[in-house]
Amino acid sequence: MVFKTQLYTLTGVPPERQKIMVKGGILKDDTDWSTLGLKDGQKLMMIGTADEIVKAPEKGPVFVEDLPEEEQAAALVLFHVLEIDQTTPCKKGHSAGLYNLGNTCYMNSTLQCLHSVPELKSALLSYSDNVRGNGVDQASHSLTVATRNTFGELDQSVRPVAPLHFLQMLRKKYPQFAQQQNNVYMQQDAEECWTQLIYTLSQTLTSEASEPTAAQMKELFGIDLVSRVHCAESGEESSESESVYSLKCHISHDVNHLHEGLKHGLKTELEKVSPSLGWTAIYTRESRINELPRYLTVQFVRFFWKRESNQKAKILRKVDYPLELDVYDFCSDELKLKLQTPRQVLRDAESAKFGLKVEVKTSSSQNIEGSSTSAGESSMDIDKADSSVPKKQLTGIYDLIAVLTHKGRSADSGHYVGWVKQDDGKWIEFDDDNPSIRKEEEILKLSGGGDWHMAYICLYKARVI
């Protein structure tokens, strides 16, 4: 299939219409190439047509507006009739799938979810092909260019895209994604692919090769944490700070909701040698968020190493997650103070929207108008609000825009799928090259508890004022 996909990119002949002639007959998809005795430079013949076979219409034209609502939505996906944002060269949505090039669903689902971030696409568009920033290696540069080009193909195509060049650059930068078993590329962990890609882009998109106006990766995805590390045995206490690109939802027998899992993830125990005691002691680390990003990534820690079977095992427990996530309780006192005024403005705007009485504290905060876009970002007339509040301030409230799910019992097997919210409020399930319209209630059923697809990574967009 990978070979046929390569031929498709060169000839435009879809894999299902290709016939590869070899000695003894037609090459089948499951043929063992080592038995063919091929030599370097040997020519193979491919038969197929790149053009659609023209058939006489069986019935007259049907207009989209005459279709039932569900069929209208499907037609919009099929013909790629999506709204274009006039303030950015990037489209707000797309409908093209990605061909599976051999156990690459982990990569496809990652790309589809990250493609939903328009600021990331804008930053990639400003990245130069020829200029490599200081400290950026060639492999990272090539992977960034491949990411930009793949996103561009998704925006411009109505047919599935073959991300062959991206896959090659990913494996060149991170050889672990090229692992094989019995001459077949192995399934990989989507979270590792997500993390490595974000890390690479954080290095390249903040270098001299990108425009100064490009949104930096830390602003888009970075989370600053402050931690209090305490040892009950010795009484030692210290503070630490770090920047991460995701929050962890730890899953245990008493975790039923994302909020509970995040709370567990921000309080951990570690063992290290105590300077005052002179032996290994248990320390407790309690972390709080000190700076929030525009896009919040949450990983459900569903996989752990099982010594008995020597492989990653999966926690199937059902953990519910919300369409709207408020992380205010996880913030430091300093950040909570900064969020108070924007949150009040947001509450007043939402109250006014629903016709509720708004308590007016100052004359400058009257007549606040607000609305929530289908993508989840609040927009309001700040000019009518408190003039002391700068525009585009975070509120600590986030709206779900993408979910990466896993189906199966192990991280190194099973199947990954991306579910992405469109600007019209509908969701698209990107199952490799087969996109499908989904309803919002279906997204909330991806919480686990069985062998069906369950959320592994959730991507939330900040609600700002």
Pairing label, strands 324-326, 237-244:
unpaired
Tell me which amino acid residue 50 is. Answer: A
Q: Check 80, 257, 264, 415 and give the catalytic one.
A: 415
Choice among 90, 105, 113, 193 that is catalytic: 105
Residue 117 CB-density burial (10 A; 0-12 exposed, 13-18 middle, 19+ buried): buried
Query: Which 3 state secondary structure label does DSSP give 359?
Result: coil
3-state secondary structure of 310: coil
Quick one: three-class SS letters along 199-223?
A: HHHHHHCCCCCCCCCCCCHHHHHCE
- Which long-range CB contacts under 8 A does 21-29 form with residues at least 24 apart? 21/45, 21/46, 21/47, 29/1, 29/4
Q: Which residues of 441-458 are buried (b: 16+ CB within 10 A; e: fewer)?
A: eebeebbbeeeebbbbbb
Distance between CA atoms of residues 458 and 262, nearest Å: 12
d(CA 261, CA 432): 29
Nearest Cα to Cα of residue 459 among 151, 198, 117: 117
Q: Which residues contact 147 (CB under 8 A, 6 or more apart)?
A: 111, 124, 166, 197, 201
Active site residue 415: yes
CB-based contact 240:229 (threshold 8 Å): yes
> Which amino acid, residue 159?
R
At 408, phi and psi to the nearest 5?
135, 180
CA distances from 350 to 354, 365, 367 (A): 6, 14, 12
Q: Please, are residues 307 and 439 in contact by the beta-carbon 8 Å criterion?
A: no
What positions carry a catalytic annotation?
A: 105, 415
